[in-house]
Amino acid sequence: MENEPVKLLFVCLGNICRSPTAEGVMRHLVEEAGIADRFDLDSAGTGSWHIGDPPDRRSTAAAAARGIKLDGRARGVDGGDFEHFDLILAMDAYNLRDLQAIAPTDESEAKVKMLREFDPMSTPDDYDVPDPYYGGPDGFDHVIDLVEAACRGLLDDVLAGRAP
């Protein structure tokens, strides 16, 4: 439908570090562009350990340092997500594999992509957003750099009609 928002789901393992960061960065970009009402953004995890938790405070701090707010509570990906969303954006190859395994139909599996495919500077051997959970603060900053480049590319593609 013409006025339907573009529905994007960002997915990582825990839904407390990378995917809430990607959601927050994308929301920041579309708000900055004055087009937030054209998007339906959410994030989810393939794992269930952190369901109900807020974003990791290290992710929240790294984002806040760049004026980006993270919110929401962790939830698991479910079958309805494959129905609802236009694109399901995996942060790494494990997330991609897990999403492909639970996609209920071929059509919904085709909605699953790596987020960094949309970074024009990235290459297929370098599509992962590395998991920062067990590392130091630099990892959280690096996540923002990677997801911001990819989200800018994704937004350009959406606005140009190349995605979803």
Phi, psi (degrees; rounded to nearest 5) at 45: -120, 155
d(CA 94, CA 127): 11
CA torsion 60→119→116→136, rounded to 10°? -40
Out of 17, 26, 68, 88, the residue judged to bind ligand 4NP by CB under 6 A: 17
Residue span 37-76 as binding mask against ligand 4NP, x where in contact by CB under 6 A, dash where not: ------------xx--------------------------
In whole angstroms, how large is the CA radius of gyration of the chain?
A: 14
Out of 16, 77, 87, 144, the residue judged to bind ligand 4NP by CB under 6 A: 16
Among candidate residues 12, 17, 27, 92, the one labeled active-site is 12
Out of 7, 84, 133, 152, the residue judged to bind ligand 4NP by CB under 6 A: 133
Active site residue 151: no
Is 56 exposed, middle or buried (CB count within 10 Å of its CB: 0-12, 13-18, 19+)? buried
Among candidate residues 92, 98, 119, 131, the one labeled active-site is 131
Please say which residue, 17 or 88, places its beta carbon nearer to ligand 4NP.
17
Segment lying near ligand 4NP (by CB under 6 A), choices 15-23, 35-43, 119-127, 154-162: 15-23
d(CA 18, CA 60): 11
Please say which residue, 19 or 122, places its beta carbon nearer to ligand 4NP.
19
Q: Is 13 in the site for ligand 4NP (CB under 6 A)?
A: yes
**Which residues are CB-neighbours of 53 under 8 A, at least 6 positions away?**
16, 73, 74
Active site residue 116: no
**Which residues are CB-neighbours of 72 under 8 A, at least 6 positions away?**
20, 23, 42, 43, 54, 55
Binding site for ligand 4NP (CB under 6 A): 12-18, 49-50, 131, 133
Which residues carry out catalysis? Answer: 12, 18, 131
